[in-house]
Amino acid sequence: MQNLDRRRVLSLGAALGLVGVTGTAKAWAWPAADSVAGAGAGADPEYVWDDATDPLMAALLDKGLVPSVNTAMAKWVNNGDALPGAFPAELTAHLRQYNKLPSWADTAKLTRAADFNRRRDTYLFMLYGLGSGIMSTVIPREARSVYWSAGGADMKDRAAKTFTFGYDLSQLKAFEPTGQFVVTANKTRLVHAAVRHLLPQSPHWTQGADQQIPISAADILVTFHSLGTYVHSKLLEWKIPYPAADQEAFLHSWQVAIHLLGVPDEYIPQTWAAAKAQSAQVLTPILAPTTEGVDLAEYLLGLVSEVDLGVTRGFLNEFARYVLSDEVGDWLGLKRDYAAAALVRTAWPAYILFREGLSPIMPGTFYMVDQFIRALAMLFLNKGTSTTTTPITIPTGNRAAG
């Protein structure tokens, strides 16, 4: 992993809107008093995994039961669906305990979050896709885990399953019985547990790994900050109307999501201020390029460029640089297009001003930018494919070399 000095960390963190008063990696010091639990043991989440799910999935994998679980799981979709009768008894018992909202979930906030997602989907889809999606490729552990797990061998399918998580979280009734996110989160939790069991068996992953077991609670928090905290910061930076009630509701949807993924409540930030302080400790200092990440970024941008966006690949590269930073763009080898860069840096602020009714003058580039964003939204809504049917499945092996 590439080391970053304090000045570069602060500069990059400021560019991403993620840095707080800290800016260098250090021993775990984030206060559990700032969590939704309000207290905790203070253990470093770097060494916390999922004691409830990991042994279960290891046993199912070792018994060869995962293929039959995947078959049964395909018809388990909506939050209100009964658990499949074909599930092994131990899996059924586990899901009866965890396939539900936490006691502290606020349905009014979740309903407002769903409405916020609907009203702000233009910005959310773009930031999740070109912002968070590309940022994930400069999170070394995430890039290596994705690349060397089974999903790395078929990145189009892997991207579609990632889109599924974000899409289901953004649904209007995501947490209601007719929604799908609670089920999707539990499926993802099972996948994470399987990967924790499988990846340590991969010599390709272990060769570059700096941990013995992947996807710790800290790693999941890093992913949350690259998604929720990053998007929250960008909306504020762009001065998009974002009432306090919307901010609180958006955070609450992510708090519930992280809980459903198995992160103990003592690590889940209670406020956005607490989230940004945590992000400054766990995310900003670790951003760095990897061979796997460069490969993944090129694939993801290539996937997006396959869609008729009405813009050039140079424009796409420059937009990724704009929403992240030139430093990240340089790490990933995104070729410069200075004419497109100038266009992005003038067209996007003008687009926001007109779209939000803050300027009466429609910019000449409005239609082009609007079509570009709509095309990105359709890619998100279709989960990266020509169909919205991309079931999440539990892996049974790792990616081979080559």
DSSP structure string for 8-71: HHHHHHHHHT---S--S--S----GGGBSSS------GGG---TTTHHHHHHHHHTT-HHHHHH
Please list the residues that pair with 149 across neighbouring strands.
Answer: 398
Q: Phi first, then psi: what are they for 145, rounded to 5°? A: -65, -45
For tokens 């990240």, the residue is 328
Compute φ and ψ for 385, nearest 5 degrees.
-135, -175
Q: Are 130 and 304 in contact (CB under 8 A)?
A: yes
Q: How far apart, in whole angstroms, are the C-alpha atoms of residue 19 and residue 12?
A: 8
d(CA 247, CA 259): 19
Q: Considering the entire predicted model, what is its pTM? A: 0.91
Top-ranked range on mean pLDDT: pick from 14-18, 131-135, 166-170, 259-263: 259-263
Q: What percent of the chain has pLDDT over 70?
A: 88
Question: How far apart, in whole angstroms, are the C-alpha atoms of residue 386 and residue 392?
Answer: 16
Q: In sequence order, what are the residues at sequence separation of 6 or more whose Cβ sits closer than 8 angstroms to the Cβ of residue 236?
A: 17, 242
Residue 24 pLDDT level (bands cut at 50, 70, 90): very low
Tell me the two tokens of residue 218: 């800290």
**CA Rg value for the chain:** 20
> In a 3-state reduction of DSSP, which class is residue 398?
strand
Is the per-residue pLDDT at 340 higher than 90?
A: yes
